[in-house]
């Protein structure tokens, strides 16, 4: 199965009047919201999403079956060739061993071919040594006979096993089973939720990849603690009846506890109050409207709309400078982004400009090996990071690289000399590659909560930040820091990490994040 291109996810807006077709896998169309048909509409939508999920599940199975069938003939041929070679080797080795153990018989090739049987020698002189024929064999002759017997037994067993394995593989390739191989994920509640999230974004069932389902499940698990606390309390508040001012105050307290921040919380509460002045919100409508507010904030950081997709530009040098404090996960993030870019078909290079931390260059080289991306580094110790960046840009320009990822040393935001050095690195990039598309990303540890905001403010001045990468959402992070970053700093979230594996970082989607945060 080909690798999924995370930098080029396709979304198609389906017309409202289109009916879902399980064969084509069209996304379920929104139903009428008339009060009289509310219950029936919700049931119909649930059935549509279930049919869509089953269609996506079957498409994943079909692709896996096609991949398995395309590799089976090669495997059978290879195994058959290996079995024949092994049988021949066993026969040759047995003949050689027999000849070596009986040197008296290896007189001439003609004698080997014309010798009749072991009984020929006794027939020539049957009466010469009758006592010797009746005597027991010496120990070395007994050992040789036992060895030959074991060798013949091993040859017979090997031939039987090879024939059985070849017959089994031939049968499977000739008549494959009717049922497709099971995907790595079962058709459970997590799969259905992930499918509903993808369908709601206009995806078709035949477009869904198993990697997307796996990632959405992992993201939901990472935000599980926050979601359980936040959603349960929200439902308790809105379940009391139509949303009123007292309920809004309780929601404000919940948002502050989730690290949303004062400014972002004030904006959310202001919009909720404006809505209440216009109409009374039932419970489900209140949560749906809250999701809409959060998505709007994430898609418009600082009140300015940004593109929902974030990807390197093809056939152009893109330079992404990764910054952040010690331990935020910069080097790990670079390795994961390099892995995504490599799978998406970009010519990628890594510049190891973290020359202070012990074994930092070795660490980024390990991640380069994992993602199959070359690393440009200076073998010396305590070298100038700006010099490494200069060499990396030169190499990228000479090789036609499309994405250059630059690792920098971790530094505290209150160390002025280190922040000045980061500003120097940025000046080198601007001067050496004036035509390149430059992005400066801050890697932010989600577990820091509001403490990460001060870091972002100082780094934004030195490195001219253009985006944020949120990491470690699988730990004790509350998730609300994403809203605080976009509201107070006006920086978009570009990537989000929810694990330590190489597949545990993906481009940020506001819709998926909010659904994972607020969907029960």
Binding residues are 324-331, 407-411, 471-474
Taking the C-alpha atoms of residue 429 and residue 418, their distance in angstroms, rounded to an integer, is 17
From the annotation, which residues make up the binding site for GTP?
Answer: 324-331, 407-411, 471-474
Mutual orientation of helices 189-200 and 510-518 as an angle, nearest 10°?
Answer: 140
Helix axes 224-238, 245-257, angle to 10 degrees: 170
Provide CB contacts within 8 A for 221, sequence distance 6+.
474, 498
Burial class (CB in 10 A: 0-12, 13-18, 19+), 481: buried
Q: Which residue has the tokens 């078709």?
A: 204
For the chain, the helix, strand and coil percentages under 3-state DSSP, each to the nearest 5: 60, 10, 35
Q: In what order do the strands lie in the sheet with 318-323?
A: 374-376, 348-353, 403-408, 318-323, 437-445, 467-471, 493-497, 505-507
SS3 at position 70: helix
| Residue 505: strand pairing partners | 497
Structure tokens at 18: 């289109």
Closest CA to 447 of 422, 404, 482: 482
């Amino acid at each position: 199965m080909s690798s999924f291109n995370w930098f080029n996810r396709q979304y198609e807006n389906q017309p409202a009047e289109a009916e879902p077709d399980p064969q084509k896998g069209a996304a379920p169309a929104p139903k009428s919201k008339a009060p009289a048909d509310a219950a029936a509409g919700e049931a119909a939508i649930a059935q549509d999403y279930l049919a869509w999920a089953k269609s996506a599940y079957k498409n994943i199975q079909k692709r896996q079956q096609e991949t398995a069938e395309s590799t089976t003939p090669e495997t059978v041929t290879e195994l058959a060739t290996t079995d024949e070679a092994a049988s021949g080797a066993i026969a040759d080795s047995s003949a050689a061993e027999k000849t070596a153990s009986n040197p008296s018989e290896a007189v001439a090739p003609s004698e080997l071919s014309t010798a009749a049987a072991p009984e020929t020698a006794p027939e020539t002189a049957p009466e010469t040594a009758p006592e010797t024929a009746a005597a027991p064999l010496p120990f070395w002759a007994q050992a040789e006979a036992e060895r030959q017997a074991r060798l013949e037994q091993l040859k017979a067993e090997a031939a039987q096993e090879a024939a059985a394995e070849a017959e089994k593989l031939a049968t499977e390739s000739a008549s494959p089973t009717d049922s497709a191989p099971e995907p790595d994920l079962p058709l459970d509640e997590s799969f259905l939720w992930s499918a509903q999230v993808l369908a709601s974004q206009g995806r078709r069932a035949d477009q869904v990849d198993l990697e997307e389902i796996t990632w959405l499940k992992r993201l939901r698990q990472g935000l599980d603690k926050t979601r359980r606390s936040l959603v349960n309390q929200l439902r308790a508040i809105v379940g009391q009846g139509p949303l009123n001012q007292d309920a809004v105050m309780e929601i404000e307290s919940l948002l502050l506890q989730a690290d949303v921040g004062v400014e972002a919380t004030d904006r959310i509460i202001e919009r909720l109050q404006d809505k209440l002045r216009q109409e009374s919100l039932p419970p489900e409508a209140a949560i749906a409207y809250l999701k809409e507010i959060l998505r709007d904030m994430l898609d418009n950081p600082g009140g300015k709309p940004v593109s929902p997709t974030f990807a390197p530009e093809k056939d152009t040098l893109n330079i992404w400078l990764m910054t952040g404090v010690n331990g935020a996960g910069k080097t790990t993030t670079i390795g994961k982004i390099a892995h995504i870019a490599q799978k998406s078909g970009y010519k990628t290079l890594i510049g190891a400009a973290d020359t202070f931390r012990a074994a930092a260059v070795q660490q980024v080289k390990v991640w380069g090996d994992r993602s199959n991306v070359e690393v440009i580094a200076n073998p010396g110790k305590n070298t100038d990071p700006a010099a490494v960046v200069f060499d990396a840009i030169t190499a990228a320009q000479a090789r036609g690289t499309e994405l250059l990822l630059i690792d920098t040393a971790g530094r505290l935001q209150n160390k002025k000399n280190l922040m000045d050095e980061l500003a120097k690195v940025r000046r080198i990039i601007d001067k050496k590659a004036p035509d390149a598309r430059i992005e400066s990303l801050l890697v932010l540890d989600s577990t820091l909560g509001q403490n990460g905001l001060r870091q972002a403010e100082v780094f934004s001045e030195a490195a001219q930040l253009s985006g944020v990468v949120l990491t470690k959402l699988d730990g004790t992070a509350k998730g609300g820091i994403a809203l605080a970053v976009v509201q107070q700093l006006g920086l978009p979230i570009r990537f989000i990490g929810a694990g330590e594996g190489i597949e545990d970082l993906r481009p940020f989607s506001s819709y998926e994040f909010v659904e994972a945060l607020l969907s029960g």
